[in-house]
Structure 1
């Protein structure tokens, strides 16, 4: 069958067109030019303003990063200066103590007392991690005593620059260059002072060998680096006044021994500046640096801290990329929107007549969507009331069942009346939850050609004797994916409304056709749908009544004749099924309710013969049930009823408490091998606390000893999540007999698996 195109009913087309003319007035011709100029101006502004903003922010960010890097180098170099000053002051003090130790002794006197002097040197220098060796050299540079060796080896430093410099009075050589020490046997630089004889002449040198690795380790800790050149954006150096490098972090292979001459730093040293900041290319790190330096006390040594310009640029580029992405992503979207608007503006005038023809359909759909928003707000309230009402029905149902099971005499009539009221209440809460979109759907594939004729008698009973029923089913109607019970209820609700609109009789027609919606038609649905039209020849609705037809609890019927939930249930059912419901009516022209239900992708299953189940054996003994229910009245009634069925019941009021019971039980089981105290968990889903019933079920199933779990709720969204957990689910309000059958099934399963609950009743 060829799918039909959507056409609004002729009875409402004229009124819809007039209303849409008021809603969508024609755009005057001259307005198109003004709108085009406005869009072009917006496009230019949308391009220029983000570019200006990004450029200004990028420049400001680069300056801020540069200032932060400079400030960080200044703060870091101050810390390094204080550290170096303490180390050099301590070494100077150590040198002075050694000079005092050898006061009045010539070279032969020192050699004569070498053992005692060696021990004192070892004690004085051994407590400092930066000190590699303490040595005393004679007038000619020969080693007289050392903290490292006894006796001192035959070593002379008479030709070494630092010895010659100290002998000749050069202050620079009081701190030597880095070398492999003759005494220390490792990379060191020496801090020495001259030793004078009794006549005040040069008698030798006292030297303390310092480890550059000590300073490297301190700089690594100060900068927070990982030891690699990529670990930190900063570098630290200890440099002599002539540019010789004493210590440097991070180390690089084949790095030079001195800073390059003719650099801003070398010029600052030549000028005698004690502190400052320069920018230069470092021959040591091979990068451009922001270099801060400070003179260490009165010593010919500087501490230098550098911040890599590449790190500043890399961070700036990352921030600039984020800025560009955050600014230009919406800007590009805005440009595209404006460009598309310019393109569409040229075709808007030509398409106006086509829009006018579709105005009736737009009015109908807009009304449906406005109604959907109203129903969302009212549905929340209705769903909350229905949920509480379900709990009241559960209390009443449980207590009626208790009275029945206790064999109360003389109250059969009253109990029957209460059971009838319970069924009416359950029907009402089903409608309320359906309107609130909290009634779970049980969708299945349905063949309308086979199902609709079977509903003929049900519809006749709903319409009454005065109204004739006409069923017009098209050829090869597509199967639908719907909840059959909800569809049946929707047809009954519309039929009852049609009967009340035709008190003197009339005709009620049910038509089914295939329909395909295309995106360009402006309909909110796209794809294949089955259109189910329900039309009556009644009095119709006034416009103000039609506007509120799908509104929950709205009714024009006399008090006690209607609940205002019929048409809202129809609307909610269609929407939750993935379709839509629309209504057209005019006073004196009847009413047409159209249900658009989605086409099923699979063919409906053919009903087969019922399975012949095996005969049930005698029910085993009762189960040990953990009942989790926050409503005390519901919990009390359910607990009493379960106990009357022969089960042992432990009741808690939230999932948090229940989970603690299971944690304690599993802990005891791990210690003593004691079996779990429960065979089954029966829990509500919606409860106060940090956990709900589904969370509890997932936690229970996560234990190694999985217990069967039954969850109870009335909310569709909770049922959808619960179906993904391996548990049994009952929707409120449920039949007590159904629960009893379910418990018997669980008992039999436990018996077959060897976990007979009867084994626990004697414990």
Structure 2
């Protein structure tokens, strides 16, 4: 097998296109070089070599000073980050000790033992100069105990952002903004954790108030006093400044949201260097920043560019004065010419890059429009195709229920064709990204072995199957049916690539990507590696492997939807699919699927349904369907099940029937003439099926509603309404089960005589 090479993302494809496209012929670079050489020759002829030396030295000096300033800020911010990490780790340990101290006590118990708790809190927090107070608050925000006062004064933080944030599980608010503390009585910012009982119920907050002045004093010593040309800050990930040196005018400030530094924080970068303007004194800075461990806190160190320029000007003045030359005027003219030439060259290159970028973006936009048009076309075709499948399915069921002899073989063939049609429709919708995903949390080590027989059937007898599941593979949140289809598609391709037999290997392992890795994905993923020992793909075929409707198989042997379905499924799940192959070296497909946030919940044994005596009477059903043939087949099936069916063409007509029924009910007291509504979603008229379902649910007499549709997007929307939803062509047995359950509910709802 060839080494793993992930498939480039759309963004990386655009970047490659920018480099490879040559929209316009470029001016040869030697034209700029000749003009520059001519100017330098004139400079030498005018005896300006000393001035050239000065300019080169000055330029290099400026860059060296900026590089040194950047290096100093990086080294300084690392020291500050280590210091802050130790402080916050200590605070976390202190919070944990306090939580353990009162773990088995409720608010009343803490108040009763306040004296003992106060003394322990005072001992815990008294040895740290940065700690102003350690406090315990109840679930209602009331102060229960404090290391600073005994007894605790009446105080409440119920409406404070850090209290509500910790209560609601927001990570950012575990570190508060700078404020005047109600307990500490001085300017502090708080770090806190939630107190919870054994059942996970929120019982309050343990808060440690930290002095910003402690950090400012440390930064003053680290920078060497007020004469240093640097600034340092401790701030939250939302830009709120917690501590700053030199001291700022206001007690609380934030980073300018339009600055490059704010943009870097918003992107979630852990470290970096940006050029920005100080929000405290307006000076330009070379700013290095680092995140403090896993806390929502950053430290930053800025080097004032005004100090760099001041030192550079002094050095340049010494150079110019020491290098006397009678040709200073001519040197200035030629230097300006060189500068203008550099600007022209930069402008030309920028224009070339922008032109190439525009072509790449236009190409990507055309591809996006093409996929959008394909999706709309597929959605419309799928709706009509699903209606046709529904008609065939309904009539097959009618024939089966009537017990026509001698047609079992033919009916089975039709049912197999129906299943193939459903599968083809699902593939088309998946490639067009119009098939909704039904995600669930999946335990890989339990699920993947159950697919062994499915994969063996797809691979055939000549290909051996090897499974290698890593240790403690993370759970995933995916659509299991789409994942199974993806594995089958890859297995079928592998089988066709190994006509004389071979080995197909399936591996599952954990993998993490960081921003600095340069991979299109960032975060934690489960990697499925599916490798075969087949003939491999040439480069031109490999480049189009994920292209919809592209296939190298003979006519009638492939649709060109297998690998595109794999790629579309992975992207829509938040992951990526990549393929690597070479002639004679086999093919390797990698699926990167995101890790689930929670462990899967295993199914509990279902309780046996209660048996009901008696035979429920047939339902009075209002069938709303605009397709005559679908309506006729569905109506016949429902009548064969023993139900009374009233068919109307659209939702507007159905609602008028209900209006008439309600008017009659108001006059005579008669109940509504229907027990159930079965409605299509997409119909002509002012209302669709979802609108009708919402109107029926608003009635005083609640009626059950079943919605059916052939549009996948409507199927996804309909799930937000409290109704049963079936996709065409639906399973008749499933519909019959639903109707039987509704019959039982209605039978129980009737008063006993």
* TM-score, normalisation: structure 1: 0.51
In structure 2, the residue matched to 1:417 is: 413
Q: Secondary structure at the match of 2:416?
A: helix
**Taking structure 1 as reference, are residues 378 and 544 closer, same or farther at Cα in structure 2, changes over 3 Å only?**
farther
**Aligned pairs for 1:14-93 within 5 A:** 24=19
**Taking structure 1 as reference, are residues 500 and 663 closer, same or farther at Cα in structure 2, changes over 3 Å only?**
same
**Aligned pairs for 1:71-220 within 5 A:** none
- 1:672: how far off? 2.4
Distance across 2 between alignment mates of 1:599 and 1:516 = 10
Residues 439 and 714 in structure 1, CA contact (< 8 A), matched pair in contact too: no
In structure 2, the residue matched to 1:662 is: 658
**Taking structure 1 as reference, are residues 516 and 401 closer, same or farther at Cα in structure 2, changes over 3 Å only?**
same
Distance across 1 between alignment mates of 2:489 and 2:577 = 13
Q: Residues 440-486 of structure 1, C-alpha deviation per residue, up to 9 Å, x if partnerless?
A: 33221111111111211221121112222221221111000112122
- 1:622: how far off? 1.1
In structure 1, the residue matched to 2:292 is: none
**Taking structure 1 as reference, are residues 713 and 336 closer, same or farther at Cα in structure 2, changes over 3 Å only?**
closer
In structure 2, the residue matched to 1:588 is: 584
* TM-score, normalisation: structure 2: 0.52
**Taking structure 1 as reference, are residues 671 and 19 closer, same or farther at Cα in structure 2, changes over 3 Å only?**
closer
Distance across 2 between alignment mates of 1:623 and 1:434 = 37
In structure 2, the residue matched to 1:547 is: 543
**Taking structure 1 as reference, are residues 755 and 440 closer, same or farther at Cα in structure 2, changes over 3 Å only?**
farther
Residues 577 and 589 in structure 2, CA contact (< 8 A), matched pair in contact too: yes
The question of 1:567 aligning with 2:557 is answered no
- 1:696: how far off? 0.9
Residues 11 and 586 in structure 1, CA contact (< 8 A), matched pair in contact too: no
Distance across 1 between alignment mates of 2:16 and 2:694 = 57
Distance across 2 between alignment mates of 1:494 and 1:367 = 29
The question of 1:472 aligning with 2:465 is answered no
Residues 441 and 716 in structure 1, CA contact (< 8 A), matched pair in contact too: no
- 1:426: how far off? 2.0
**Taking structure 1 as reference, are residues 372 and 548 closer, same or farther at Cα in structure 2, changes over 3 Å only?**
farther
Distance across 1 between alignment mates of 2:575 and 2:462 = 32
In structure 2, the residue matched to 1:386 is: 382
Q: 1:503 aligns with which of 496, 499, 504?
A: 499
Q: 1:651 aligns with which of 632, 647, 650?
A: 647
**Taking structure 1 as reference, are residues 596 and 426 closer, same or farther at Cα in structure 2, changes over 3 Å only?**
same
Structure of higher CA gyration radius: 1
Q: Secondary structure at the match of 1:24?
A: helix
- 1:680: how far off? 0.4
**Aligned pairs for 1:698-717 within 5 A:** 698-717=694-713
Distance across 2 between alignment mates of 1:369 and 1:534 = 32
Please tell me the root mean square deviation across aligned C-alpha atoms, in Å: 4.0
- 1:371: how far off? 7.8
Residues 440 and 478 in structure 2, CA contact (< 8 A), matched pair in contact too: yes
- 1:19: how far off? 12
In structure 2, the residue matched to 1:738 is: 734
Q: Secondary structure at the match of 1:670?
A: helix
Distance across 2 between alignment mates of 1:574 and 1:11 = 13
**Aligned pairs for 1:351-370 within 5 A:** none
In structure 2, the residue matched to 1:401 is: 397
Distance across 1 between alignment mates of 2:709 and 2:4 = 42
- 1:683: how far off? 0.8
Q: Secondary structure at the match of 2:527?
A: strand
- 1:511: how far off? 1.6
The question of 1:455 aligning with 2:469 is answered no
- 1:608: how far off? 3.3
**Taking structure 1 as reference, are residues 515 and 367 closer, same or farther at Cα in structure 2, changes over 3 Å only?**
farther
Q: Secondary structure at the match of 2:511?
A: strand
Alignment gaps of 5+ in structure 2: 37-255, 265-273, 278-283, 287-361
Residues 534 and 593 in structure 1, CA contact (< 8 A), matched pair in contact too: yes
In structure 2, the residue matched to 1:436 is: 432
In structure 2, the residue matched to 1:724 is: 720
- 1:616: how far off? 4.8
Number of aligned residues: 431
- 1:496: how far off? 0.3
- 1:591: how far off? 1.8
Residues 5 and 580 in structure 2, CA contact (< 8 A), matched pair in contact too: no
- 1:720: how far off? 2.9
**Aligned pairs for 1:214-293 within 5 A:** none
Distance across 1 between alignment mates of 2:629 and 2:751 = 32
- 1:555: how far off? 1.7
- 1:417: how far off? 2.0
Alignment gaps of 5+ in structure 1: 1-6, 35-328, 345-365
The question of 1:9 aligning with 2:4 is answered yes
The question of 1:641 aligning with 2:637 is answered yes
**Aligned pairs for 1:599-638 within 5 A:** 599-638=595-634
